[in-house]
Amino acid sequence: MIAALFDFDGTLYTGHLWQDLARDHWAAKRHRRWVVAYVTRNMAPLPLYKLGLMDQMAYYRQWGETMAWLLRGWTEEEGMALFERLTDQQLMPNLRANLLDQLRHHQEQGYLVMLVSGTFAPWLQIVARRLEVSHAIGTPLEMRNGRFTGRIVRPLCQGEGKLDRTRMYCAEHNLEVDWAASVAYADSGTDIDLLGAVGHPVVVYPDDALLAHGRAQGWSVIGERMP
């Protein structure tokens, strides 16, 4: 079968889920110490990244691997209620209409449409249900005694991990994908592995790293990221 793979943050969705979580915590005056810890921890290497002394994959990996701090100590019920609310209030109203049209087009074609994102797997599954997409591949969250530990279950669904998790998911669900005929949409240089695995990669509102790589490879480009 032919697959259509869609990244979520920055691709289908104009925003970023870590920011939505952090802002919601801050506005509600809850979990603020973990918001501060998360942002401080991950902004610290920014000068190194800007100077080219830290590569993009390493920089963004630490953001993804520590994002679960924002749920540390919460019950699964609390987390799911928050995901449901933010999905309806923030995410669904801010989807990119042109990318949503592409998703619907591929559904009509009978493609195997999948959301593939570094975000929390249970949150991505809620989004997938809203979009009537049957397959969602995200980053699982570690649980202990019914509560989030603040850690992910590795590998993070990003970079090579995103491609690995996608292939594992397809194997586990007996989905035989024709990768050469398939299409993928993504916005970040960390998505190069996933995009390079399909025959029809599409660069969407890309960062500089992905735009340069995509142009060199002759990949299709949709939109431009605002400076």
Is residue 67 very low, low, confident or very high in pLDDT (cuts 50, 70, 90)? very high
Q: What is the 3-state secondary structure (H, E, C) of 133-184?
A: CCEEEEECEEEECCEEEEEECCCCCCCHHHHHHHHHHHHHCCCCCCHHHCEE
Is the pTM higher than 0.85? The answer reads yes
pLDDT in tens, 89-148: 999 999 999 999 999 999 999 999 999 999 999 999 999 999 999 999 999 999 999 999
> Could you tell me the domains of the chain?
3-14+75-222 (3.40.50.1000)
Mean pLDDT (the chain, rounded):
95
Residue 199 pLDDT > 90, yes or no? yes
Report the pLDDT value the prediction gives residue 77, as an integer from 0 to 100.
96
Phi/psi at 43 (5° precision): -85, -20
CB 12 within 8 A of CB 103: yes
Residue 227 pLDDT > 80, yes or no? no
Report the pLDDT value the prediction gives residue 226, as an integer from 0 to 100.
60
Q: Check residue 131 and report its DSSP letter.
A: T
Spatial distance between the Cα atoms of 155 and 182, rounded to a whole number of angstroms: 24
Spatial distance between the Cα atoms of 109 and 88, rounded to a whole number of angstroms: 27
CB 126 within 8 A of CB 146: no
CB 203 within 8 A of CB 186: yes
Report the pLDDT value the prediction gives residue 150, as an integer from 0 to 100.
96
Question: What is the CA 227 to chain-centroid distance, rounded?
Answer: 21
pLDDT in tens, 145-167: 999 999 999 999 999 999 999 99
